Chain A
Amino acid sequence: MKIIKNLCDICGTCVAVCPADAIIVSEFEVVINNQKCTNCSNCLKVCPIKAIKEGE
């Protein structure tokens, strides 16, 4: 999964549904660790502003 950086509002909703602990939020950005990501696409489905897309 991949974050569209200039769309992301850094709300952290994606982190709450990630079963793989693959998403990290800081004050400035959200980062998806594709080593850990299992492509379940929960984050993509829940993102309020559709700032997550498939791919690395």
Chain B
Amino acid sequence: MKNKYDVIVIGGGPAGSVAAKFASENGASVLLLERDREAGIPVRCAEGVSLKGIAPFIEIDKRWIAAQIDVATLFAPNGESAKMHNNGTGLVLERRIFDTALCEEAVKFGVEFVTKADAIDLTWKNGKISGVKINYLNEILEIECDVVIGADGVESRVGRWAGIKTNVALKDIDTCIQYTLSGIDIEENACEFYFGRDVSPGGYVWVFPKNKNTANVGIGLAGHFSHAKGPKKFLDEFIQKRFPNGQKIYTVCGGVTTADTLPEIVHDNIMLVGDAARQVNPITGGGIVQGMIAGSIAGKVAAEAVQKKKFNKKFLKKYRKEWDKKIGNNQKVMYKIKEKVLEMGDEKFNSLVKICQNIPADKFTVKALFSEAVKDDPRLVLEIAKTFVKSKLKLK
């Protein structure tokens, strides 16, 4: 480690490693800090992504692909189901290997990467952020930089240190438990989603196969519905019914924000990316690809800032602008749909799945499903239609 870099990225998850790579590739000197012994562990994730989403960022490698998904089945509270086909374009990852592969990719492009390095504060000079204070193997070090990129996950504190409000409301976070269940018998290429007040209030249960006998089986409950019972009891009840012989070979807790992107994700000398900026799809809870996209934009803007020696908020806002254009505006609409979904009762879910049964399996998407959910809100429907036209996504 040197004592000064152009850019310091805090957090070695998908958002951070991609941000570091793009900053370095575009000419900045970059230090990437990871608190744990390696990036990607513990795996707090169901590991589902779309092939199309990750392909721009890393060469596809079998080492980190557990399963390819052809079908998703949605289960209504009344037990009825509808199938969506996606022809192998969904992947279940091995995130432990995937996250490390992304870090290796960053290193290939000149990033300096340090594990066991816990960022504990920012340093300031003349009222401006001047670097990062870290606890590295029990030694406190101060390293200078011009730009900090906070990629420190759902538990993010980097933004708070910079005076950015990053906390979310209870209804805008899902509280999750997941088991990797083994000793079960499932279709390797099919994932399952279960909805309903009795199954998972304000969220859903997922089954993402890793192979014929093993799957990530998890639950997310909307935070404000969680308190009385908690996600573990709901999930255990589900597993008792669906996989009574499943053995829990991995247990993990976690939180997924289902919020809009934070109002502020840049300040002078600092940008937030990924979960730290709440850049998660509020409907699916998917944040891997969104984090990588945000990282790529922020990394590039950071390098440009270094080149032009412009580190103020005004310049770094370029990142915000591009984020909104690419994903942020879409996330905003998804957030509004989510708000509606939170109010939905079981009846509504039942009728939704019923509608979906009538759509040919290869013609509908999760987005289409939830667009159905908001049909009775004409303003929202219009807004959704606009975003989908903009992002060239088809509704049905």
| Contact assessment for B173 and A15 in the assembled complex, using a CB-CB cutoff below 8 Å | no
Within 8 Å of chain B (Cβ to Cβ): is A25?
yes
Partner of B154 from the list A13, A27, A44, A50 (CB cut-off 8 Å) is A13
Within 8 Å of chain A (Cβ to Cβ): is B326?
no
Within 8 Å of chain A (Cβ to Cβ): is B332?
no
**Distance in angstroms between the alpha carbons of A15 and B167 in the assembled complex:** 8
Within 8 Å of chain B (Cβ to Cβ): is A45?
yes
| Contact assessment for A25 and B155 in the assembled complex, using a CB-CB cutoff below 8 Å | yes
The total of chain B residues at the interface (CB under 8 A) is 35
A46 → chain B closest CB, angstroms: 5
- Give the interface size class of chain A: 20 to 34
Partner of B35 from the list A13, A16, A26, A50 (CB cut-off 8 Å) is A26
Specify the main secondary structure of chain B where it touches its partner.
mixed
Partner of B173 from the list A13, A19, A21, A24 (CB cut-off 8 Å) is A13
Q: Which residue of B lies closest to A41 (CB)?
A: B227
Residues of chain B with a CB closer than 8 A to A44's CB = 227
Within 8 Å of chain A (Cβ to Cβ): is B196?
no
Within 8 Å of chain A (Cβ to Cβ): is B304?
no
* A15-B254 contact given A27-B36, A45-B226, A48-B176, CB 8 Å threshold: no
B267 → chain A closest CB, angstroms: 16
Residues of chain B with a CB closer than 8 A to A12's CB = 153-155, 255
Residues of A participating in the B interface, judged by any CB pair closer than 8 Å: 9, 11-13, 15-19, 21, 24-27, 42, 44-50
Residues of B participating in the A interface, judged by any CB pair closer than 8 Å: 35-37, 42, 44, 116, 118, 135, 153-157, 160, 166-170, 173, 175-177, 223-224, 226-227, 230-232, 252-255, 257
A-B pairs, top 7 by smallest CB distance, nearest first, are A12-B155, A13-B255, A48-B253, A9-B253, A11-B253, A45-B227, A15-B155
- List 17 A-B pairs, Cβ < 8 Å: A11-B253, A13-B175, A13-B254, A13-B255, A16-B156, A16-B173, A21-B160, A27-B37, A27-B116, A42-B223, A44-B227, A45-B170, A45-B223, A46-B170, A48-B176, A48-B231, A48-B254
